[in-house]
Chains A and B, each alone.
Chain A
């Protein structure tokens, strides 16, 4: 039963990976900002859920929407007051400013929260059940379900709602969107806010399955970047699929090549995919 269990582990882990990347892919696709502070936003979302859980006693899953709302507000202000200043400038400028933002957020987090390891540890965090000889961890399954649900919501908003039409229109043709009355400044801020809210949800779930320090961001940014490229920037479900793909690949690599090689495979996939199919994902942006 080793292989089926490892595939299951990979799929569940991949759902969470996909959710991490979802916000980054959205912001990248619409605003053309490769947000290097995305991992720091995940980290902040994790702390938000941590404090809601430990201080107010709110169940971490119930705290997720609260943390998402807070992260939306934070992301909205960040875009409105800071990133809108550089949004249509050269890629290097946005890379620099989001990199700087990552450093600032990370070190502020250490000042505010110390470098202690924190876990979001509700009584059921270790709960699991057995199905057909497989062990299913409850929290990871829930995280997977939430990832799918958020991707579906995002897809629905983008495809069906007036807001989604405005977002897509802006990313396709800014001038035309403006002629139809879209205010790009506020639209960008809303989009970035949604991206930050998704990062917040991912952070809360990450804190439940792993642990939080101010320094988790850099690695999560890198992972999100890989998955956003593999999944493409156009369809939320593809991002989740990209996450599952990476999760399964890492799990199989740990089994067949050895656990030291998980990152080699993760980033190797990125290189391989850029070589094999360089245009579609980028064109979709």
Chain B
């Protein structure tokens, strides 16, 4: 072996460092890079894929249409995406890496409130705007942060339209069970929902918080059954929703008229996994692939949903549409700002108002969009919109008991 002396090694390392630095530091000067750390593997990978696919889809569309004009110069958008393995701590480190080492220009968000809650601290600290479509918890938007914007409506109000509908169906004075997970999103849902239920004049007969990720609901379901409630309002994540419904059925738990979920019902995967057991379940979504939602790049939401399905092989839900709105927010804001300066772009984002496949995108003073939730129901394996602030479809109500179904 030839001797490697220390001096030689040091010189080589310095040279390599200089070369690497030149590469890392040199921004292709007509590209704006959006960085994100998303759940590509791990327990949330199933929902994380919406963000990866939709971010890329939107960026490709915008670039294909010529890119973004910023102060007389045209830029292409590019995506730098990292896999946080469904691990919050890793995702925070990756956002730090994105802004400090990878030098991305702006940030897109991760999936889920507990991630967005922690990751937005990085955007705030480094003063790089983050537009995220995966975190709805009000905890994200009540810290006085200036650099985080959100395209999911406030978690506190997820059940507002549902309770509104139940009021019209005569819920006043009835008994309700509230079952929620203990993560950031669901804590926010629970807080808002309790108030909405009180305002609607109901009694919360069972109010249970379970460990996020729990697989066994038999104790809660036994309590709910014993309390003989009229309705169950449930919040958590999709895998837990599947377990809850299946165990509801196998323990023959039948609220007198209603059960509804914050998450899961609008997702194709959910209905496929449950088969007939998914029928009658109520859910909610801030988005449906409606041709009335016009978009500068995609035409309209119905065309978007079709293209998305063809491109990725699965149907988009509101997570995907929300992610599209995040990318488009940057495109619109960059044009408005006429500069790549993070502060100027941040101010431009705060002032945008544009139509997209997702909704009319406009941020409140806290940085969060305001959108109503459409109440949806699974009817014969299909997702049917039922109620917005009035009935838009026929609700199958009351929900028949498990042992009384055809």
Contact of A259 among B220, B246, B274, B275 (CB under 8 A): B220
Contact of B216 among A13, A115, A121 (CB under 8 A): A13
CB distance from B47 to the nearest CB of A (A): 9
Chain A residues contacting B210 (CB-CB under 8 Å) are 254, 259-260
On whether A135 and B209 interact (CB within 8 A), knowing A2-B223, A121-B275, A255-B219, the answer reads no
Instruction: Tell me, yes or no, whether B213 is within 8 Å of chain A by CB.
Output: yes
The residue of chain B having its C-beta at the shortest distance from the C-beta of A9 within the complex is: B218
CB distance from B174 to the nearest CB of A (A): 21
Whether the pair A13, B218 counts as a contact (CB closer than 8 A) is yes
Whether the pair B250, A139 counts as a contact (CB closer than 8 A) is yes
Tell me which of B213, B223, B238, B250 has the highest count of chain A C-beta atoms within 10 A of its own C-beta: B250
Instruction: Tell me, yes or no, whether A250 is within 8 Å of chain B by CB.
Output: yes
Contact of A126 among B223, B269, B402 (CB under 8 A): B402
- Docked Cα-Cα span, A117 to B45, in Å, equals 10
- Docked Cα-Cα span, A138 to B226, in Å, equals 20
The residue of chain A having its C-beta at the shortest distance from the C-beta of B45 within the complex is: A115
Binds B, one of A31-39, A72-80, A155-163, A207-215: A207-215
Chain B residues contacting A126 (CB-CB under 8 Å) are 246, 249-250, 277, 402
Whether the pair A9, B219 counts as a contact (CB closer than 8 A) is yes
Instruction: Tell me, yes or no, whether A183 is within 8 Å of chain B by CB.
Output: no
Chain B residues contacting A128 (CB-CB under 8 Å) are 250-252
CB distance from B374 to the nearest CB of A (A): 23
CB distance from B182 to the nearest CB of A (A): 5
Whether the pair B238, A117 counts as a contact (CB closer than 8 A) is yes
Instruction: Tell me, yes or no, whether B243 is within 8 Å of chain A by CB.
Output: yes
The residue of chain A having its C-beta at the shortest distance from the C-beta of B86 within the complex is: A215
Contact of B274 among A121, A127, A213 (CB under 8 A): A121
Chain B residues contacting A13 (CB-CB under 8 Å) are 216, 218
Whether the pair B250, A260 counts as a contact (CB closer than 8 A) is no
CB distance from A113 to the nearest CB of B (A): 11
Instruction: Tell me, yes or no, whether A5 is within 8 Å of chain B by CB.
Output: yes
CB distance from B362 to the nearest CB of A (A): 33
Whether the pair A115, B49 counts as a contact (CB closer than 8 A) is yes
Instruction: Tell me, yes or no, whether A6 is within 8 Å of chain B by CB.
Output: yes
Whether the pair B219, A137 counts as a contact (CB closer than 8 A) is no
Whether the pair A6, B242 counts as a contact (CB closer than 8 A) is no
Contact of B250 among A209, A215, A261 (CB under 8 A): A209
Tell me which of A130, A210, A255, A261 has the highest count of chain B C-beta atoms within 10 A of its own C-beta: A210
Chain B residues contacting A258 (CB-CB under 8 Å) are 208-209
Instruction: Tell me, yes or no, whether B24 is within 8 Å of chain A by CB.
Output: no
CB distance from B181 to the nearest CB of A (A): 9
A3-58 interface with B by 8 A CB criterion: 5-6, 9-10, 13
Tell me which of A107, A115, A210 has the highest count of chain B C-beta atoms within 10 A of its own C-beta: A115
Whether the pair A215, B42 counts as a contact (CB closer than 8 A) is yes
Whether the pair B250, A137 counts as a contact (CB closer than 8 A) is yes
- Count contacts on A: residues with CB < 8 A to the other chain: 42
CB distance from B295 to the nearest CB of A (A): 28
Whether the pair A117, B46 counts as a contact (CB closer than 8 A) is yes
CB distance from B232 to the nearest CB of A (A): 15
Chain B residues contacting A114 (CB-CB under 8 Å) are 46
Chain A residues contacting B202 (CB-CB under 8 Å) are none
Chain B residues contacting A186 (CB-CB under 8 Å) are none
Contact of B41 among A1, A2, A107 (CB under 8 A): A107
Chain A residues contacting B249 (CB-CB under 8 Å) are 125-126
Chain A residues contacting B208 (CB-CB under 8 Å) are 258-259
The residue of chain A having its C-beta at the shortest distance from the C-beta of B248 within the complex is: A126
Tell me which of B182, B219, B239, B270 has the highest count of chain A C-beta atoms within 10 A of its own C-beta: B219
Q: Write out, one digit per residue, whether chain B residues 198-217 have a CB within 8 A of any chain A CB (1) or not (0).
A: 00000000001111011111
Contact of B222 among A9, A107, A116 (CB under 8 A): A9
- Docked Cα-Cα span, A127 to B246, in Å, equals 10
Whether the pair B209, A117 counts as a contact (CB closer than 8 A) is no
Instruction: Tell me, yes or no, whether A262 is within 8 Å of chain B by CB.
Output: yes
CB distance from B183 to the nearest CB of A (A): 11
CB distance from A218 to the nearest CB of B (A): 9
Whether the pair A6, B218 counts as a contact (CB closer than 8 A) is yes
CB distance from B238 to the nearest CB of A (A): 6
Chain A residues contacting B182 (CB-CB under 8 Å) are 260
Instruction: Tell me, yes or no, whether A118 is within 8 Å of chain B by CB.
Output: yes
Q: Write out, one digit per residue, whether chain A residues 60-98 have a CB within 8 A of any chain B CB (1) or not (0).
A: 000000000000000000000000000000000000000
Instruction: Tell me, yes or no, whether B273 is within 8 Å of chain A by CB.
Output: yes
Contact of A211 among B41, B222, B242 (CB under 8 A): B242
Instruction: Tell me, yes or no, whether B43 is within 8 Å of chain A by CB.
Output: yes
Whether the pair B242, A117 counts as a contact (CB closer than 8 A) is yes
Q: Write out, one digit per residue, whether chain A residues 96-114 have a CB within 8 A of any chain B CB (1) or not (0).
A: 0000000000010010001
Whether the pair B41, A110 counts as a contact (CB closer than 8 A) is yes
Instruction: Tell me, yes or no, whether A119 is within 8 Å of chain B by CB.
Output: yes
CB distance from A118 to the nearest CB of B (A): 6
- Besides the contacts A115-B41, A125-B249, A127-B250, what 5 more A-B pairs have beta carbons closer than 8 Å? A114-B46, A209-B250, A251-B218, A259-B210, A259-B211
Closest 8 CB pairs of A and B: A126-B249, A254-B219, A137-B250, A115-B45, A9-B218, A259-B210, A115-B46, A215-B43
Enumerate 15 A-B pairs (CB-CB under 8 Å) in ascending A order: A6-B219, A107-B41, A115-B49, A126-B249, A126-B250, A128-B250, A139-B250, A210-B242, A211-B243, A213-B46, A215-B86, A251-B218, A258-B208, A260-B182, A261-B211
Give A contacts to B, CB under 8 Å: 1-2, 5-6, 9-10, 13, 107, 110, 114-119, 121, 125-128, 130, 135, 137-140, 209-211, 213, 215, 219, 250-251, 254-255, 258-263
